[in-house]
Amino acid sequence: MIDFKAEMERFKPIMEIDELEDSIKTYDMEDMIDILKYLSEENAKN
């Protein structure tokens, strides 16, 4: 049986073109490689 409430929670508003600029400005460009680099640098210091 479908749980309407649970199903509805899956539907979120989708970003519109007008919000694109703000979305990119606030986008945090961090990936796993950034984390690994950070860890390597920390290890090198120690």
Q: Does 12 bind other proteins (CB under 8 A)?
A: yes
Q: Does 5 bind other proteins (CB under 8 A)?
A: no
Q: Does 13 bind other proteins (CB under 8 A)?
A: yes
- Token digits of residue 40: 């390597």
CB of residue 35 vs other proteins: minimum separation in angstroms? 9
Q: What is the DSSP string of the chain?
A: ---HHHHHHH--PPPPGGGHHHHHHT-----HHHHHHHHHHHHHH-
Contacts to other proteins by CB under 8 A: 1-2, 4, 7-8, 10-20, 23-24, 27, 29-34, 36-37, 39-41, 43-44
